Amino acid sequence: MADYTTSEMMTVAAARMLGNGTVCFVGIGLPSTAANLARLTHAPEAVLIYESGPIGTKPNVLPLSIGDGELATTADTVVSTPEIFRYWLQGGRIDVGFLGGAQIDRYANLNTTVIGPYDKPRVRLPGAGGAPEIAAMAGEVLIIMSQNTRAFVDKLDFVTTAGHLDGGDARKRAGLPGKGPTAVITDLCIMRPDAETRELVVTELHPGVTADQVREKTGWDIRFANDVVETTPPAANELSVLRALLKRTAEAHGTAT
């Protein structure tokens, strides 16, 4: 029995993708947890930027909302929302966009808008937020999502945010400046886009996870790399820092059980 959860494995694996010194535009939720874990472990010089305006923020507890005061008090500077999107994101100063999503397809396009038809949605989701431009402009995009067939779907009802569109050089043709998604980190595995087709391919399986389990939780016929490797399990330090961070956060937000 592993001494960590699949969710912890996912967060740790995602955190490892963020290099020290990287300038990262961080989405709320799982991306924010992973980015801060990176900052508190191997990437102390990572620069975290949130769309609410804090640049170089070093929160002691995770924000519950994208604009928590903790982000402002611990930032190098806080700028206005137009400035964040215009100078910092559109200006090309972001290395990595770190996103989550409600639904994803085999080309890492994201849906956060509707389930069902747009004009008569079965489920109305929150919408785009900053994601379309983050995914367009950041040097590359990391996506972190729990894996199940409702989230990993054959066809999106709505493309909110372009990943690799319909594959190949579609991003280039569409005039999207950044490289797009370079990895999708789930609670089961890590997928990366094929160098040619840009279709997501499983390159790492988390310890104890089988290929069949991944197939069962994917809404399309998921491909596997020839040389799938096992993800390195979380190190003691990664786990203890993550757990301490989540504990501090729960206490601060009054959600501790």
Partner 1 sequence: MAKICTLAEAIGEFLHDGDTVAMEGFTHLIPHAAAHETIRQKRRDLTLVRMTPDLIYDQLIGMGCAKRLVFSWGGNPGVGSLHRFRDAVEKGWPHPLEIEEHSHADLANAYVAGASGLPFAVLRGYAGSDLPRHNPRIRFISCPFTGEQLAAVPSLRPDVTVIHAQKADRKGNVLIWGIVGVQKEAVLAARRAIVTVEEVVDKLDAGPNACVLPHWVVSAVAAVPTGAHPSYAHGYYDRDNRFYTAWDAISRERGTFTAWMDRHVLATKDWESYRKVLAETGGKA
Q: Is 255 in the site for partner 1 (CB under 8 A)?
A: yes
Q: Is 90 in the site for partner 1 (CB under 8 A)?
A: yes
Indicate which residues carry an active-site annotation: 51
Task: Name the residue with tokens 């490892």.
Answer: 16
How many helices (H) and strands (E) are present in the chain, helices listed first? 8, 14
What gap in Å lies between CA 134 and CA 29, rounded to an integer?
A: 16
**Residue from 2, 123, 235, 256 binding partner 1 (CB under 8 A):** 123
Q: Which two tokens stand for residue 159?
A: 């493309």
**Residue from 89, 143, 153, 214 binding partner 1 (CB under 8 A):** 89
Closest CB 98 distance from partner 1, rounded Å: 16
Please say whether the beta carbons of 189 and 204 come within 8 A: yes
Q: Is 65 in the site for partner 1 (CB under 8 A)?
A: yes
**Residue from 16, 39, 106, 171 binding partner 1 (CB under 8 A):** 171
Q: Is 207 in the site for partner 1 (CB under 8 A)?
A: no
Q: Is 139 in the site for partner 1 (CB under 8 A)?
A: no
Residues 10-49 within binding reach of partner 1 (CB under 8 A) = 28
Per-residue HEC secondary structure of 103-126 comes to EECCCCCEECCEECCCCCCCEECC
Q: Is 127 in the site for partner 1 (CB under 8 A)?
A: yes
**Residue from 81, 149, 210, 237 binding partner 1 (CB under 8 A):** 81
- The number of CA neighbours under 13 Å toward the Cβ of 67 is 8
